[in-house]
Chains A and B, each alone.
Chain A
Amino acid sequence: AQRVTQPEKLLSVFKGAPVELKCNYSYSGSPELFWYVQYSRQRLQLLLRHISRESIKGFTADLNKGETSFHLKKPFAQEEDSAMYYCALRKGFGNEKLTFGTGTRLTIIP
């Protein structure tokens, strides 16, 4: 069965410093990987998906199949980045369920 691991429950970073939120997965096939973000009192929102290879709000994430990782990075943290971040995996491309990691709460220190 597929599994997503986010090793850090909490991460505090100073404003302007680089951010890296770690995500590792286990799945024998070709997964699709996502980052979802949940700002305070708001719904889960899709931030990034690996197939898009895009940068959203300055965040990027590269799928590393060798290391089975999909770490989320941003070179310069901003206060508005404080939120809960969830890495998620979907088997293949389609309408399958998402399997989530436990999430990382990112706090940006002014």
Chain B
Amino acid sequence: EPEVTQTPSHQVTQMGQEVILRCVPISNHLYFYWYRQILGQKVEFLVSFYNNEISEKSEIFDDQFSVERPDGSNFTLKIRSTKLEDSAMYFCASRGNEQYFGPGTRLTVT
């Protein structure tokens, strides 16, 4: 059964550095999402993406964040200048019948 994949599984970075989190959605899906979960808190929506543009974004998704589908398979989330409070689990999802989630990337900002 096809699955959403994410790399890396864990990323450690220093405050102020740029990070790119990568996702490979399920191949015939057209809608893509990023969510995050700060430790001990709920899963929060960041952004949705369709037809090579952002469909919706949350208040969290400020100018430091960007998303891109650079080729036919990858879907990336870039954080330009990481802050300590960006430390979280980041989940990618793609939608067929419903939203299917990747295993997540744990981002630790030190």
Q: Measuring CB to CB, which residues of chain A are less than 8 angstroms from any residue of chain B? A: 34, 36, 42-46, 49, 86, 95-103
Contacts and interface: CB of A to CB of B under 8 A. Distances in A.
Interface string B77-110: 0000000000000010001001111111000000
Nearest to A43: B103
B99 A98 contact: yes
Given A43-B103, A43-B104, A95-B31, A102 B98 contact: no
- Chain B: interface residue count, which band? 20 to 34
Q: Is the interface of A mostly helix, strand, loop or mixed?
A: loop
A98 B91 CA distance: 12
A100 B42 CA distance: 7
Contact of B45 (A44, A99, A102): A99
Nearest to A41: B103
B101 A96 contact: no
